[in-house]
Structure 1
Amino acid sequence: MSKKPLGVDKYGVRKVMRTGDYFADSLGQFSLNIISGLVGQLTYFYTDKVGIAAGAIATMLLICKIIDAFTDIIMGHIVDHTAPGKEKYRPWILRMAIPAAIVIISLFTVPKGWGETMQIGYLLITNVLLSAVIFTAICIPYSSILVVRTNSQEERGNMGIWRAASGYVSGMIIAVAVIPITNALGGNQSAWIKMGAIFGLLIALALFICYLKAKETAIGEGVQAEDIHDDETPVPFGEALKSLFGNKYWVMILIMNFCANISYGISGASGTYYCKWIYGDDNLVAIQGAIGMIPTILGFVAVGPMSKKLGVTKTLRVSFLIGAIGTALRLFNPTHFVYNTTLSCFGTFANIPMMCLMGVMSAMAIDYNEYKYGRRMVATAQSACSFGNKVGSGIGASIIGWCLGLAAYDGLATTVSPAVIQAIYTFSIYIPLILFIILYAFAMRFDLEKRLPEIQKEIAKRN
C-alpha cells in the first residue's frame, strides 16, 4: 500500500517528512540534552559529593568549553571536506553512540583517594572527552541535518519543534529525577555512578534509532535529485569564516545563541543551589521541575500557532519579553518558594520558542550565505556558531562556580554566609534578566524572515 503524498508547504516547497521521521530525528536532541543536562549537574556533584573547591571546578569547566569550542570548528571543517559521494553527517551519529555511554559513566567515577590536583586532572580529561570530542562529533553533523534534510521552512520549523520538545523532555528528566533518584540510592558517589550508567545506555539506544531514520538529502515523494544542491566545492576555512562574519544575520544569531547558552548553562545547575540554600531543601528541585512541566507543555502547544501567526522572529520577541518581565518580578521577593516558582514558569515558557526556533533562524542565515556568496558552507556555519554556543554554555556553568568561589562557598558546610546568598541571587536572577533583555534587543533587529521568500526564489533561479 503506497503512502499518501505529503504535498507542499505554503511557499510551494515539496514536503518530505512524516511523523516517524520527526520522532527519530528528535532523538538526537534527546541524547544531546541528556549529555548537557548531566554536565550541568557536575558542579553540584563535584562540590557537594566529591568535595572539590567551587572556584577550581568553574575554571576547569571553562577550559573544557574553550577546548570544546575549537573542536567544533575542526569538526565542521572535517564534515564539509568529506569526499564527494560519501555521507557527511549520518555516520557520526552511529560512531559516537557507544563512546558516549562509556564516557558518561566515567564522569562520576572520580577517584576519591587522589589529591585535589589529580582529581581536577581526571575531571578535565573526562569532560574534554565527553564535550569536546563526543558531543561535538554528534552535534555538528546532527545540526547540519536540519538544513539538508528538507528545503521546506515549514518542515524545518517542525523539526525544530520536535527536537526542542524531545530535548526538553530529557532536560526535565535530568532536572526532576537526578537529585531524588541519587538521594534515594544513598546520595553518595556510588548512587551517581549508577544513575550515569542508566543514562548512558539510554543515549546509546536513542542515537542508534536516530541514525536509522536520518537522511542526507531532501529527496522524497515528488522531490527530484536535481533539486538538491548540498554538494558544493569545499571552501578554505579562512575564506569560509570571512564570509560568515560578513553575514550580519549569522553574526546576530551567533550572539543570540551565545547569550541563550549562557542562560542554559546557568539554569542547568543553579536550581539545586537555590533550593538547598534559599528554600532549605534540595529535594524541592524535583517539585520545581514538575511544576515547570506546565509552562513547558503550554510552550510547545503555543509555539506552532504563534510562529504560524506571528512568524519565527516575532514569536521570539514576545517570548523574550515575557521572560524578562517574569524574571524581573522575582526581585521583589526572592525567598518565597511559591512566588518564585510561579514566576519561574514565565521564564520556562519563554525558553521554549527559543529552543524550537533558533535552529530555524540559523538555517535562514545559511540560506542567506548562499544568496550572498553562492555557497552554504553548512557544517562550517553550524560549527562556528556552535563555537559561540559552547563558550556561552561554558561561561554559564562557570559563572555559578565563580560566584560561589568569590563568596567562599563550602559545599560540605551546613550553613552559608550572606555573601553566598547574594551569589546565588546573582546567577539565578540578575544575570538571566540581563540576558533576556539582550536577546530581545537582537530579535528586534533581525529582519531576514520577511526577505526569505524572495531570497529563496533568487537562489532557485541561479540553481
Structure 2
Amino acid sequence: MGNFSFSYRNRPKSDRIGFGEYLCYGLGDLSFCFIYGAIGSYMVFFYTDVACISAGLVGTILLFSKIFDGISDMLMGVVIENVHSPLGKARPWLFWMLIPYCAGSVMLFTVPDLPEIGRAIYAFISYNLMATVFFTSMNVPYGVLSSVMTNRQNERAILSISRASLGALGVFLISSYAPDMVEWPGGGAAGWQKTFLVVGLVSVVLFLITFLGCKERVGSGVREQQTGRRTSLSLAQGVRILFANKYWFIMLLVNIFYTAMTSLYGMNLYFAKYIMQEEGRNRAMMMCSTAASILVPLLIIPIVQKIGKRNVALYGGAGLGLLGQLLLIFTAERSLLLMYVALTIRGMGVACISATKFGMIADSIEYGEYRTGTRAEGFVYSAASLGVRFGSAFALACIGWVLGAFGYDGSLAVQSESAMQGIRIMFYAAPLVVFAALLFLLIRYRLDKEYDGIMAVLEERHRQENLTT
C-alpha cells in the first residue's frame, strides 16, 4: 500500500483542520437545513393549508415518499463507494448537483392549478425528486465528508459541532422567518414559490464554499489515490458490514428518534394558530425551540472534549429534552413565559444530541472496519442517514394521520374540539415518547470508551499491510 499511513499522528501539522475549514464544512449544513427545516416545520402545513390537500392524504404521501428516500440513501452509499473521481470521494457531489438542488427547492413549494388529486400527485412527484434524488445525492456525500477529512475524535467532534451549530442556524432562520418571507412578495402559493427560489440560489453559493474549502485526507478514497488500486463494494457486502456493527444500528435508531423530534417542531404552528388562537406566536415558539441549537454546540466544545460525545448526548441531550417536555406539558396553556422556558430547555437537549451525533456516526465507521476488515465510509454513513428519512417520515406521517383521524380540516378557520385534541396529543405526548427512546438508546452506546483501543488495532493492521506490500 505504498507509503500511505492511517495514523493521524504521522500527518504533518499543516495538513490538520483549521478554523476556516471547520467553518466551510458547517456552511454546507446551513444550506441543507434551509430545506430540512422547511420540510420539518412547514411541509405538512403547506400541503394542508396552502395546497389544500387533506391531512390524511398528506400523511400517506409523506410516509411512502420517505420510504423511497431511505432506499435512495442506501443506493447512494453504493454509488459513492463505486464512483471514483480525482476530486475525491464525497466532495464532488456538492458541485455536480448544485443546479438540480436549486430547481428542486422551487418545485417543492409550488402549487399547480389542478384538482386535489392532481395537486396530491404533483406533491408526491416533486417531493420525491427533491428529497429522494437531489437532496440525497448531496446530503449523503456531505455526511461522508467529515469521516474522510480526519480520523481523529476531537477533530470529528468539532466538525460535528460546526455542522450542528450552523445547521441549527439554518433551521432557526427558515422556521422563524419563512412566513414573513412568504408574505413579502405577496403571500399565498406564489409567495412560497418565490421564497424558495431565493433559498435555492443562496444554497448554490454556500455549497460552492463547502466544496472549495474542504479537503479529503483519510479513508479508502485517499488510499486509492495513494496506491492506484481502486476498490468497489456491492450492496450485499455493505449489508453484511452493517449487521456486524452494533454501534451503527444504535445510531440509526438515534437518528430516527432525533429527526422525529425536529419534525415535530411543525406542531408549533398548529398549536399557536388553533390552541393559542394567535398564529404570530409561532415565531417566538420556533425561536425558543431552535435558538439554543445555534449556541449550545459551540459552548459545549470543552465539555465534549472532557466527558465525551456520548455522555453529552445522554445527559445533556435526552435528559434536558425530557425535562423540558415535562415542563411544557404542565405549563404551555397556563403561562406563556414558562412555555417559552420549557421550549428553550427542550431545545437545549435537542442541540446536545445534534452537536454530537454526527461524530458518533463517523466513529462507528472505524468500529465497522475493526469488526469486518473493510472500511466503507459511504455505505455506512448513507445507511445511518436512513434514520433521518424514516424519523421524518414517521413523524410527518403521524402528524397527518393523527390530525386527520381527529377531524382536522385545513380549510376551516376554527377547528372542532376533536381536532384540537389531536393537536394536543402531537404537541405534548409525541415528543415525550421520543426523548424516552433516545435515553434508552444512548445508555447502550459505549464506543467513546472503546475507540482508542480500536484505533490502535487498526493502525497496527495498516502498518503490517504496508510492510507486506
Give the TM-score of the pair, scaled to structure 1: 0.91
Confirm or deny that 1:18 pairs with 2:18: yes
* Counterpart position of 2:83: 82
Change in 2 beyond 3 A, CA 1:84/1:330? closer
Q: 1:230, CA displacement in angstroms?
A: 12
Please give the per-residue CA displacement for 1:283-335, whole angstroms capped at 9, x wherever unaligned: 21112233446533551243212212221111111121111111012222332
* Counterpart position of 1:310: 307
CA–CA distance in structure 2, aligned partners of residues 11 and 272 of structure 1: 52
Q: 1:192, CA displacement in angstroms?
A: 1.1
User: In the TM superposition, what are the counterparts of 1:246-265 in structure 2 within 5 Å?
Assistant: 246-265=244-263
Instruction: Check conservation: 1:323, 1:347, Cα contact below 8 A.
Output: yes
Please give the per-residue CA displacement for 1:23-76, whole angstroms capped at 9, x wherever unaligned: 111121112111112223121112112211111111111111111111111111
Q: Which runs of 5+ in 2 are unaligned?
A: 1-6, 463-469
Instruction: Check conservation: 1:218, 1:228, Cα contact below 8 A.
Output: no
* Counterpart position of 1:435: 434
Confirm or deny that 1:278 pairs with 2:285: no
* Counterpart position of 1:371: 370
**Structure 1 residues 127-136 or 281-290, which shifts more?**
281-290
* Counterpart position of 1:405: 404
Change in 2 beyond 3 A, CA 1:132/1:293? closer
Instruction: Check conservation: 2:65, 2:124, Cα contact below 8 A.
Output: yes
Instruction: Check conservation: 1:9, 1:154, Cα contact below 8 A.
Output: no
* Counterpart position of 1:107: 108
Change in 2 beyond 3 A, CA 1:80/1:152? same
Change in 2 beyond 3 A, CA 1:231/1:177? farther
SS at match of 2:371: helix
Change in 2 beyond 3 A, CA 1:391/1:13? farther
* Counterpart position of 1:139: 139
Letter in 2 for 1:37: G
Q: Please give the root-mean-square deviation of Cα atoms over the aligned residues, in Å.
A: 2.4
Change in 2 beyond 3 A, CA 1:86/1:50? closer
Q: 1:91, CA displacement in angstroms?
A: 1.3
Please give the per-residue CA displacement for 1:69-116, whole angstroms capped at 9, x wherever unaligned: 11111111011012486632111111111111112112222113x111
CA–CA distance in structure 2, aligned partners of residues 36 and 262 of structure 1: 12
* Counterpart position of 1:289: 286
CA–CA distance in structure 2, aligned partners of residues 376 and 175 of structure 1: 38
Change in 2 beyond 3 A, CA 1:228/1:395? farther
Change in 2 beyond 3 A, CA 1:303/1:126? same
Confirm or deny that 1:43 pairs with 2:65: no
Confirm or deny that 1:183 pairs with 2:183: yes
CA–CA distance in structure 2, aligned partners of residues 9 and 377 of structure 1: 19
CA–CA distance in structure 2, aligned partners of residues 293 and 251 of structure 1: 27
Q: Which runs of 5+ in 1 are unaligned?
A: 1-7
CA–CA distance in structure 1, aligned partners of residues 340 and 94 of structure 2: 37
SS at match of 1:367: helix
Letter in 2 for 1:157: A
Please give the per-residue CA displacement for 1:400-444, whole angstroms capped at 9, x wherever unaligned: 111111111111212112222221122222111111111111111
Q: Percent identity?
A: 27
Please give the per-residue CA displacement for 1:168-223, whole angstroms capped at 9, x wherever unaligned: 0010011110122323444311111121111111111111111112223249xxxx
Give the TM-score of the pair, scaled to structure 2: 0.90
From 240, 243, 246, the counterpart of 1:245: 243
* Counterpart position of 2:465: none
* Counterpart position of 2:395: 396
CA–CA distance in structure 1, aligned partners of residues 106 and 180 of structure 2: 19
* Counterpart position of 2:383: 384
Aligned length: 450
**Structure 1 residues 33-42 or 448-457, which shifts more?**
33-42
Confirm or deny that 1:449 pairs with 2:412: no
Instruction: Check conservation: 1:327, 1:433, Cα contact below 8 A.
Output: yes
Instruction: Check conservation: 1:295, 1:345, Cα contact below 8 A.
Output: yes
Instruction: Check conservation: 1:232, 1:375, Cα contact below 8 A.
Output: no
CA–CA distance in structure 1, aligned partners of residues 403 and 189 of structure 2: 22
Instruction: Check conservation: 1:180, 1:286, Cα contact below 8 A.
Output: no
